[in-house]
Amino acid sequence: MTTDLTNGHFTYHPDFLGASDGSTQMSIQFDFGAFYNGSSWVNDTLSSTQHAAPSNTVYSATDGYGAGDLQSVSVDADGVITGSYSNGQTLNLFQVAIARFNNPQGLNKIGNNLYAETTESGNAIAGRPGTNGLGRIVPNALEQSNVDIAKESVKLILLKRNFQANLNVIRTEDEMTGNLLNIIS
């Protein structure tokens, strides 16, 4: 990067792209409201001056919205996720993509209701909901449960047996403490 004084203003010549021959060098001139005439700094006719006095705002206008916090999120039938903010602004944040496979039976089940793409299933065909044979999104609807009842029942039985075993340990310890106290007295 080089610096010089062109037309009385500081001029920088940075090379952000880094070409070795300098062909991508830019020229950025800084105009701070004054220029150098060769012997001294001279104020431009439209320059600003600061005086030792309190400042006043002569004109104030806003353009845009104030800061806002995300208040709620909604999803429409097209899969567009919309956020509503505390400053009254509503923005489209994202859009849900849906994927299908030519051979869904060829997907590899990796557990916890998750599947992985395989060569048998083919590549995912993704797009917006309701297009190209893809499914639709139904806002504010709850999907039916997809829990494996047999697996969850086995877990419940094991949990009940463990609870009963722990309860028996506590009862036995309580009886032994009672017997010990009877022997001592």
Q: Is residue 20 part of a domain?
A: yes
Is pLDDT at 76 greater than 80 in this prediction?
yes
Together in a domain, 12 and 30: yes
Together in a domain, 10 and 29: yes
What is d(CA 35, CA 5) in angstroms, rounded to the nearest whole number? 9
Together in a domain, 108 and 90: no
Q: Which residue has the tokens 């009886």?
A: 175
Together in a domain, 135 and 114: yes
Query: Domain range for residue 71?
Result: 67-95
182 versus 44: the higher-pLDDT residue is: 182
Together in a domain, 107 and 129: yes
Q: Is residue 72 part of a domain?
A: yes
Domain total for the chain?
3
Which residues have C-beta within 8 Å of that of residue 31, sequence separation ≥ 6? 9, 44
Together in a domain, 90 and 121: no
What is d(CA 62, CA 91) in angstroms, rounded to the nearest whole number? 20
Together in a domain, 116 and 85: no
**Structure confidence by residue, pLDDT tens digits, 143-169:** 776 777 888 899 999 999 999 999 999
Using DSSP's 3-state secondary structure scheme, residue 12 falls into strand
Together in a domain, 89 and 101: no
Q: Is residue 35 part of a domain?
A: yes
Q: How many CA atoms lie within 13 A of 75 on its CB side?
A: 14
Q: Is residue 81 part of a domain?
A: yes
Q: pTM for the whole thing?
A: 0.41
Q: Is residue 16 part of a domain?
A: yes
Identify which of 27-36, 55-64, 72-81, 141-150 has the greatest average pLDDT: 72-81
Q: Is residue 183 part of a domain?
A: no
